[in-house]
Chains A and B, each alone.
Chain A
Amino acid sequence: DAKTTQPPSMDCAEGRAANLPCNHSTISGNEYVYWYRQIHSQGPQYIIHGLKNNETNEMASLIITEDRKSSTLILPHATLRDTAVYYCIVRVGGGSNYKLTFGKGTLLTVNP
C-alpha cells in the first residue's frame, strides 16, 4: 500500500470549512484513498473513499488531484464534535486485501 503524509495537527473555527490535506505521491492506479476519523477513545469511523473522481456524502467531500498524488478531505461546516484524529489511507480495493494501515493522522481541533 502507498505511503501517505499528513500534517500532525490543524485548527479550524466552528462553522468554517475544514480542509485536511494528504500526500500519496506513490499511489498506484488501482489504489483507493480512504478517510477515517477517530474521536477521542472511540473506535475509528469511516468517512469517505474514492479512486479518481471527487466524492461527496453526508459527512464530507473528497477532492483527488488529477495526477492522484494528493487529496483533500473537506468538512464543509465544522462543528466541535468534528474534533478528532483524521486518517488518510491508501490501499487496493477488492480482492482479498482489505487490510488498513493506519499512520498517525492529523489531529483536527475545531475551536468555538
Chain B
Amino acid sequence: NAGVTQTPKFRILKIGQSMTLQCTQDMNHNYMYWYRQDPGMGLKLIYYSVGAGITDKGEVPNGYNVSRSTTEDFPLRLELAAPSQTSVYFCASTLSRGQGGNEQFFGPGTRLTVL
C-alpha cells in the first residue's frame, strides 16, 4: 500500500490565485481529514469527511472548500489565496471501528507559500 499520498509537495501562489491540493489513500479508509500546521504550532483541523459525499467543517474552515466524491480522494480547494494561508497542509485518513480508538495515517504534507 502507498498509504496516504499528497500532491504537490511544494507550491508558491500569488495572492488571489486558486489551487487544489490533492489527497489519495489506498487503505479503504472511510474517514479523511485536512489539517494545517503553521510554523512552531500544532496541527489545526480544516475539514473532515466520514465517507463519500459527506463533509464537515473543522476548527479553521474559512477560505477552503472540500469534496469527497470517492472513498479514495479528498481534495482541498483554495479559492482566493491569502498570505495567511501560507502553511504546511497534511491529509490524514482512518478506518472507524466503533469503540476502542483508532490511529490516523498522515500523508507527507504540502508546503504552500502565498506571496
Contacts and interface: CB of A to CB of B under 8 A. Distances in A.
Contacts, number: 66
A36 B104 CA distance: 9
Q: For chain B, which range describes its interface: under 10, 10 to 19, 20 to 34, or 35 or more residues? A: 20 to 34
Given A34-B101, A44-B90, A94-B101, A99 B45 contact: yes
B108 A42 contact: yes
Interface stretch (B11-19, B36-44, B61-69, B78-86): B36-44
Contacts of B108: 42-43
Contacts of A95: 98-99
Contacts of B50: 96
Given A41-B109, A102-B43, A94 B31 contact: no
Nearest to A93: B101
A87 B44 CA distance: 13
A109 to B, nearest CB: 15
Contact of B43 (A44, A49, A94): A44
Interface of B: 4, 31, 33, 35, 40-45, 48, 50, 58-59, 88, 90, 92, 94, 96-109
Given A41-B109, A94-B97, 7 more contacts: A34-B101, A42-B108, A98-B94, A100-B43, A100-B45, A100-B104, A104-B42
